Structure 1
């Protein structure tokens, strides 16, 4: 197993970096755990959204530039000067006819490269194969949780009583969700923020299962009204102690990642959830549709300077270590 990658001569020692950062407070010494990244090998594996045509609609617009393989060496070239010490791979919408194929591939990748250090796999909670898949995940040392994007609708179609097959209120979907606890798996939730009432219900009804919200609740509407409604939704779900927030996926289509546009989103997220229940993540290479990995983490670092050294360490490293058992 090799821990050497292009763009980064050797993976830095997290313990040493952590101690050094607590002394210096320098961004150059800040150890980063990236708890939301992806690897793709389009030559070997089938990802319908990356390989099929016509391409599906995507929230960042045209994503032709990421319809290519992206492996550990590519990641570390993209990471540049940032001190990435560990990563967590989140399922990449693999071939649904091969539900355990991604786990086999990621396991081999981790053995060869030393990355990722953990993963969250895909499990269709309302399908018959859920028991087989969750059993395999629960037995595997790499797997910490699962992601199954629940059925959702556009904001104008959503109502307080929303329920649909595959949604967070669907009894069959919930039956699958209930099985996560017995396998010691948490749930990665990717859904629009207007569905957070349903997410809060889920958190209350299954308090022993942690929910990790992906991509900051997808605050795409940056109008004053849109951000106000998003914040209110965050506040509702943040009342549940078993919910953690990943600050990621906040690119604005057609714009480079900027502190000006994303600073208010980051500050609001941390204000609502606190520095002990948030983690910064890259969502790379998906966010490469809009900007570079170095720019994204540079932006997070600049915004985070408003917090203490200890809080910055939590946001970039310690919280992810705790949540993902690293």
Structure 2
């Protein structure tokens, strides 16, 4: 698809340091080409907007005007080891991203530090055997900080589209929890992606493992498509109650972002022309303010979720929207939201 080109927005607060704690890298040749059939789900349309997002594209975004000093890479199934034992195939992603991080750390591309921390993937349903895979990730990169094992699932396949198919109840599964128990002893964190109706599963998991650092991605993904079309606002109170329950658990942090994805179905998604930052801030404000109020600034961090959030806006506009949402915060609070929380929780080394 093509979208109307609009002039780039002026950068707000250009001197505010940012650590982007959530982005991906990928190369998906199958998503290129005018001969492709129409996308069967809005998420497929987003992938076609950016079928290639590697170091060049990330660096262009990082240096497009905002003071993004470092990033945290989030697993997305990229560059798995071909022909390896299935359990160890995801280690290839950490090896790949560590190479990108080394390129950035060379200084040849400026002072930014892309992928200064890496979150990979391990199938925790391996149970206790997951420890060996975790150790292989750690050996592959000194930047490895933890894993994400997504649980996003819904009875209506139209909600997740190409990502549908996961069985419900993953975080309550005994084998999964046996694998999950390997994280804290190794000093590793756990990123979680699941949907608003599933958030009770995460509350139960976090209570069972109070010593494991857990990061909730994408404010718990409120829904407004498929079976939830037209229900997002009606479900806001339910979502808020679950966020407050999660925030009561001290080792749980929240990434504030991901609202530009297809799943909440805000009017800004795939709008033409793309929505300005004022509109994005207006649409996202109730969710952003609820999360910051519940978790506090020291357990919240703004995230880009690029290139996925390209479905609503470019990188410059997205960070402008977050800066509008934080306009009333103090300098100390802004430092936490844009930089400090991410640096502490992911142990981002900027030396």
Same topology, TM > 0.5? yes
Aligned pair 1:234/2:243, yes or no?
yes
Deviates more, 1:128-137 or 1:265-274: 128-137
Counterpart of 2:111? none
Deviations for 1:26-64, whole angstroms, at most 9, x for unmatched residues? 812100000001122447xxxx9999x989865646224
Match of 2:203 among 200, 203, 213: 200
Match of 2:90 among 82, 99, 113: 99
Counterpart of 1:135? 135
Counterpart of 2:108? none
Aligned pair 1:73/2:59, yes or no?
no
Pairs within 5 Å for 1:73-222: 73-79=56-62, 80-94=64-78, 95=80, 97=86, 98-114=89-105, 115-127=114-126, 130-139=130-139, 140-150=141-151, 152-154=153-155, 167-221=170-224
Deviations for 1:228-264, whole angstroms, at most 9, x for unmatched residues? 1111110111111010000111013334361111122
What is the RMSD computed on CA atoms of the aligned residues? 2.8
- C-alpha distance in structure 1 between counterparts of 2:291 and 2:147, whole Å: 23
Contact 2:20 2:70 in 1 (8 A): yes
> CA offset at residue 224 of structure 1?
3.0
Contact 1:39 1:71 in 2 (8 A): yes
Contact 2:21 2:71 in 1 (8 A): yes
- C-alpha distance in structure 2 between counterparts of 1:178 and 1:49, whole Å: 37
Pairs within 5 Å for 1:267-278: 267-278=289-300
Q: CA, structure 1 residues 229+55, in 2 after alignment: closer, same or farther (shift >3 Å)? A: farther
Contact 1:164 1:170 in 2 (8 A): no
> CA offset at residue 83 of structure 1?
0.3
Q: CA, structure 1 residues 66+311, in 2 after alignment: closer, same or farther (shift >3 Å)? A: same
Q: CA, structure 1 residues 151+289, in 2 after alignment: closer, same or farther (shift >3 Å)? A: closer
Match of 1:243 among 228, 232, 252: 252
Counterpart of 1:315? 337
Aligned pair 1:34/2:20, yes or no?
yes
Q: Secondary structure at the match of 2:172?
A: coil
The normalised TM-score by structure 2 is 0.75
> CA offset at residue 302 of structure 1?
0.8
Contact 1:78 1:294 in 2 (8 A): yes
Contact 2:222 2:232 in 1 (8 A): no
Q: CA, structure 1 residues 223+164, in 2 after alignment: closer, same or farther (shift >3 Å)? A: closer
Unaligned runs of 5+ in 1: 1-25, 157-162
> CA offset at residue 130 of structure 1?
2.4
* Matched residue count: 290
The normalised TM-score by structure 1 is 0.81
Deviates more, 1:172-181 or 1:264-273: 264-273
Unaligned runs of 5+ in 2: 1-11, 106-113, 158-165, 225-230, 261-265
Deviations for 1:68-97, whole angstroms, at most 9, x for unmatched residues? 221233123234110000100000123484
Contact 2:77 2:93 in 1 (8 A): no
Contact 1:149 1:190 in 2 (8 A): yes
